Structure 1
């Protein structure tokens, strides 16, 4: 078995942030949906909920990020497949409303008025999955792609956190992100921060 990648302070910080993200989304999944604690699902009654598939996707990506420094190729391969799975789930979430519209208009109305994975969340998960997949590939040129993707994701996340109202009835609610949960936005900030820290760690190894 090949040795583990040496760990720096940035790598440890990246793994810690990824663990926090995993813990947050696990709390939503287990405490919110499992134990029916509504505050852990939607923060405030008028806000949209973080859906179970969204929480599970964040958990998968967080665990995959933890595998970046793993020495075992099998672990990294499994982590890469988990990022692909998350990207597929997010893509299906994007396509579902269009499929429902084709099937029946009344079904579509019922679908879009319920809590769901927002368009912004779906695109964010796909971007995060690509970034983490690039890190897991362990090819120098791909670290740059992961870094640029994470920078874009972090900028978008901060814009949503500080410039968007999570109350869907507010005029400050940004179209495409209206159904995003505040927990999803926080999880994105943590996840992209962890990716950026891991990218810096990989740069240190290449120097």
Structure 2
């Protein structure tokens, strides 16, 4: 081969494309799980049922996830982990109100409620905080740290977890009445009234 036409170098191997069929299968399976969860509990799910709804071969689902518990854990990690940065409006109360409403809107959909309840049922065999809950905790920590830097009086992280995050999740998991925007606003205002010197509006 001449210098003008160099011989092609051998390929180092197949190039794995971002997305492609693997991403489409994952999206279809996740969508199928969400739809089925919205219709009933996680206990009714099986890989063949999910595969049929997703329009994929059950073998593909078994190969990727192995069993239903791992598939549900993957869906939970995707659906429950917050994807937006924590609010930073310049006001602790407004940041907490927006955070609480975003969280409430996420965890009150039927499929997410089913995922949360399934996660609780699995907690005995996998103790410790889940990555998605750790992410929620980190969001709250960031909101409180920002407010403290601005000179606002703030509750501690543990107080925010105990009096804001925990009630939101427990009400959903245990079906303790409706979880609505007015309820989240009361949780925020009670937290600030008792632990931050009454900085409510």
TM-score (norm 2): 0.30
Larger radius of gyration: 2
Instruction: Give the number of the structure whose residues are more often helix, by fraction.
Output: 1
Q: Which protein, 1 or 2, shows the higher relative CO under an 8 Å CA cutoff with sep ≥ 6?
A: 1
TM-score (norm 1): 0.30
